[in-house]
Amino acid sequence: MKLTSKLFIVGLLATCIACKDGYIDDIQPAPAGVDKTPPEVTINFPKEEPLTWVPDEVMSINIDFNVVDDIEIQDIIVTLDGEGIGSYSDFKDYRKTAVKLPYDNITNGTHTLTVTANDISGKTTSSTVEFVKPENYVPLYEGEIFYMPFDDQYLELVSVSEATAVGDPGFAGESASGANAYAGATDSYLTFPTTDLTNDEFSASLWYKVDADPDRAGILVMGPPDEANPDSQNNRTAGFRLFREAAGTNQRIKLNVGNGNGENWFDGGTAADINPGNGEWVHIAISIAATECAVYINGEPVSQGTFPGISWEGCDIMSIGSGAPRFSGWGHLSDNSYIDELRIFNKALSQTEVQTILDNEQP
C-alpha cells in the first residue's frame, strides 16, 4: 500500500513538472483592450415592408435582432411604438448576442420598432424599423390576382373569399411554405368561382406533394360543362386541365388547354415525372400566353410549345384537388396529394419569374 502511494505521488510530481516545462500550454488571459466603437445593432425581422397578411386584426411575430460590441454589451432595450417590450442585461457572450423576442399584439397599421444597445463605456446605438401590418393582403408579385396559402383554412386572400369544400378535404399537418397545406381526400376537393381569373394570359404556381393513390387525379382544372355527356364530363375545347397519370412507378404531370375549336396537349414525357417514393414537395407552374404554353417543374420547363390561344367559354368553376366536376370522363377525380401556396396570375410567367417564386417559397 505504501509503495503504491509513493508511486502515485511520484507520478503526480512528474505530471506537474511536465506541465511546468511546457507540455501543456498555460492559460494566458487576454486584456480587455480599449473600447473604441459603439455597439452594432442589426434587426433581422421585421423588415421595412408589409408583414404577411393574416385575416385576424391582431397577430403574433418573433422579433429577431443581433447586437455586437468590441468590448462588452451592458444592456439592450426594445421598444415598440415608444413602449418598452423587452430588456436584456445578462449575456452568455458579453460581446455578441442574438435575440428572438415573441410579441403577440401586432395590430393593423404602421408600427415602429427600436432596439437600443449600450456598452460598458457609455456608447449607445439605436436601430429602428418601421413596418406595417396590412388590413388587406398585398400581392407579392406582378400580376398576382389569387393567393391561397392553405394556412389552416381555405381562404383566398386577394378577394378575401372562402373556397367551397366538396366532401371532406383536410389539412396535411405540414407545409411547403407556411403553416398547414391542403390535404386531399377521396371524393373531396375545393371549388372557386372564376370571376376575374379568366384573362387572355394566365399562370398558376403551386407546391405539390404527390400521393400515387389513386393512380390518376386532377390537380387544378378550369373547364366548361360537357352538355353532350352530362354523366361523363370531358369537354376540352375551353379552359385548362392540369392533372397527373401513372407512368410506371412515377406520376406524370400533364396540361391540356382548350383553344375554342379544339385542344392542345403539353405532355413533357419522362421530364414531367415525379417519383412518389421520394416523399418530396415539388414546385409546379403553368404559363399560358396568347401564343404559347409552358409547364415547369422545380423551375425547369418540362413541356412548352405554341398554340392558338385559350378560350374561356363556359369556364365558371375552378376545381382544386380534383378534375371533378368538369373533367371526370377519364377518371381524373379527387387527389389525395398535398397542395400548398397556390397563386394565380393574369400574365404569362417567364422562367425567371417562376424561379423567383420557387426560391422565395423554398421548403
> Looking at this protein, which amino acid is placed at residue 180?
N
List strands edge to edge, sheet with 58-68. 40-45, 58-68, 96-107
Same domain flag for 100 and 197: no
The region of weakest confidence among 23-27, 32-36, 108-112, 204-208 is 23-27
Average pLDDT, the chain: 91
Please report, in angstroms and rounded to a whole number, the separation of the first and last CA atoms in the chain: 67
pLDDT at 27: 44
Q: Which residue has the higher pLDDT, 52 or 147?
A: 147
Q: Which domain holds residue 345?
A: 144-361
Same domain flag for 194 and 60: no
Please write the tens of the pLDDT for every residue from 71-99. 999 999 999 999 999 999 999 999 999 99
Question: Quick check: is 340 in a domain?
Answer: yes
pLDDT at 56: 85
All 3 cell numbers of residue 142? 406582378
Same domain flag for 189 and 103: no
Alpha helix ranges (H) inside the chain: 2-20, 351-361
Q: Which residues contact 14 (CB under 8 A, 6 or more apart)?
A: none
Q: Which of 74, 108, 133 is the last residue of a domain?
A: 133
Same domain flag for 52 and 194: no
DSSP 255: E
Helices and strands (H and E) in the chain: how many: 2, 25
- Indicate if the pLDDT at residue 259 is higher than 90: yes
**CB-facing half-sphere around the CA of 171: CA atoms within 13 A:** 14
Return d(Cα 288, Cα 258) in angstroms, integer.
11
- Indicate if the pLDDT at residue 12 is higher than 90: no
Percentage with pLDDT > 90 across the chain = 83
Question: Quick check: is 112 in a domain?
Answer: yes
CATH number at residue 268: 2.60.120.200
Same domain flag for 332 and 217: yes
> Looking at this protein, which amino acid is placed at residue 146?
F
Q: Which of 103, 133, 163 is the last residue of a domain?
A: 133
Question: Quick check: is 2 in a domain?
Answer: no
Instruction: Report the 3 state secondary structure along 321-334.
Output: CCCCCCCCCCCCCC
All 3 cell numbers of residue 348? 404569362
Could you tell me if 204 and 285 are in contact, meaning their C-beta atoms sit under 8 angstroms apart? yes
Q: Which residue has the higher pLDDT, 24 or 279?
A: 279
All 3 cell numbers of residue 71? 468590448
pLDDT at 356: 98
Task: Note the residue count of the chain.
Answer: 363
pLDDT at 206: 98
Same domain flag for 219 and 300: yes
Question: Quick check: is 138 in a domain?
Answer: no
Question: Quick check: is 17 in a domain?
Answer: no
Question: What are the CA-CA distances from residue 33 to residues 90, 119, 207, 217 (Å)?
Answer: 21, 14, 53, 69
Q: Which residue has the higher pLDDT, 51 or 54?
A: 51
Same domain flag for 180 and 105: no
Same domain flag for 154 and 84: no
Give bridge partners of residue 310 from the DSSP assignment: none
Neighbours of 296 (CB within 10 A): 26
Same domain flag for 188 and 300: yes
- pLDDT bin (cut points 50, 70, 90) of residue 31 is low
- pLDDT bin (cut points 50, 70, 90) of residue 35 is confident
Question: Quick check: is 12 in a domain?
Answer: no
pLDDT at 36: 87
Tally of domains within the chain:
2
Return d(Cα 136, Cα 255) in angstroms, integer.
33
Please give the model's pTM, rounded to 2 decimal places: 0.75
- Indicate if the pLDDT at residue 7 is higher than 50: no
Could you tell me if 58 and 103 are in contact, meaning their C-beta atoms sit under 8 angstroms apart? no
Same domain flag for 222 and 353: yes
Residue 248 φ/ψ region, left for φ over 0, alpha for ψ in the -120 to 50 degree band, beta for the rest: left
Closest CA to 131 of 107, 112, 106: 112
pLDDT at 237: 97
- pLDDT bin (cut points 50, 70, 90) of residue 34 is confident
Please write the tens of the pLDDT for every residue from 136-158. 898 999 999 999 999 899 999 99
Question: Quick check: is 295 in a domain?
Answer: yes
Q: Which of 100, 133, 166 is the last residue of a domain?
A: 133
- pLDDT bin (cut points 50, 70, 90) of residue 24 is very low
Neighbours of 148 (CB within 10 A): 24
SS3 272: helix
Same domain flag for 277 and 169: yes
Q: Which residue has the higher pLDDT, 15 or 31?
A: 31
Question: Quick check: is 213 in a domain?
Answer: yes
Same domain flag for 108 and 148: no
CATH number at residue 76: 2.60.40.10
Could you tell me if 70 and 117 are in contact, meaning their C-beta atoms sit under 8 angstroms apart? no
